[in-house]
Structure 1
């Protein structure tokens, strides 16, 4: 609870995984002791405030530390949609589905949404929202010095940092300590399980630059511009030029049918279900762009000709945009430019 309070959620603004954070918080609020109830309520307030600030007509469609294809392309499929409907209005579904884990919140007896969070979610004034969450890999050494190896190790793996130079030695220590050779997610690390090479591992992984380095979810500075007609959101300057995974760097949402974003299509890092076969054609990025936003203007620059990394598969040499022209009132493609109009806005 303390770590979430101080540093936010590693999978920032995730319209998939916030449901999985909210569900256990609701149980702790109803069934924990007084201290746990109190701390869980604080964290619930924070995560719902985060969602409220980034809502557009009840849709949580913004930059995200982890987001999958269907939720990116079809806002009405978001896993947190019914939570937003239950708390904030803007109903799209006819009734709540109690077979989802979000039912933990619907049935929670001891949590009451603060009025100010409801008002934030339904505010119609245009505005800029800036947030910062998570950790840089460079901070791991400080965590080890201040909080010990175990705490630093849990923070590191919560970030999904395994093979990065700043993390690899701690990864191998925990790999041995917890006998993870048969773990489906970690088994490939057996090739590095040579104790005599431990002191060289940071140097080795820096030189090899394995594509698995991109799995790490690091510190984000997000910038979102919300209006009554659209919402535009960007992870500012998020480690451009490095390998990516399931990070969703930017998105413009114009209504429940129109979402705009770009990606560099990637090849899955692993061949099994442990990683959900990502990145992919629309999920995440093979190489992360240099992205920046100011109010209603976004720019992303992709440079995909860097040196190939260890275990990297064939790199796709183009980027693409999700621009559903059939859902605009009018749309026009001209060379490398796309234009669309819909009700009160024009996008280009």
Structure 2
């Protein structure tokens, strides 16, 4: 295997490229990134960058010298437009074609949009900086979607002195992921900080100066942020013969086809630890899967299943939220310790009696770490 191509230059793609070099691959490693910016970290975009607490340099994942040390064929500012798995060619927007012996797909996701013209999304560094310039005292921000991204942005905007309206179609924000009890706790935090949280409302259209609800109600705003989830970037793989179903479908080794692996937000793979197919949009998973995919690609006779305990975190106001496991689809939530009213507690999640996750709010990290080990050893 001489030439390896990694499509996607964010956390998963960079981790894959670094692992290839660390594991001794001396051939060509081409790293393709749609953005002109060198690889950077995305979680701070809705927190420290949006709040103006960090300079942009702090989100860079590696220095220029570190990238140079990897001796990459680095193609930034261009995107993959097609894949020919028979000829083993990746087609680029600039018209170039790159042949490969091995391919790692790490193209991530793109924000979902709503009908209408206008509104912001928050996925790239440019998105965060553009929105940050428009926020401040006296500004009114409408956030559509009270998931983790929308909730973090709402909390930051409130701290910047904005009047914030947070819209959510579900009766309880995040109930599908963290349960109604925990969802209500997070909702109460927004309201106590002065955010106008409205649940059970659907947005029909977005414009530069507000949103129109499904019942034709108009909500005026200086700025609108649409945070209603993401779609995996797989359009460039249409016609490739690869299995696409809410992501690039991979097996337990993160393999999508011979010589083709998926990593990060775009990959839907079978996690043998939980016994289900999952696609995880979390920073830690992106880096871990990038490394695992690179090793399995290099050493096909010694492949190891990618079987992690997913981990994510969120910062909202003074709340630190940490979670391990795969909480979606749970049927039981128990408060293992702490107090919901004080927003300091640890909740456990089970499905059919089996532990599938744990989430802590306002607790030190060491309080939840033992639950990761419990998830690793849980019989399923």
Q: Same fold (TM over 0.5)?
A: no
Which protein is richer in strand relative to its size?
Answer: 2
TM norm structure 2: 0.26
Which protein is richer in helix relative to its size?
Answer: 1
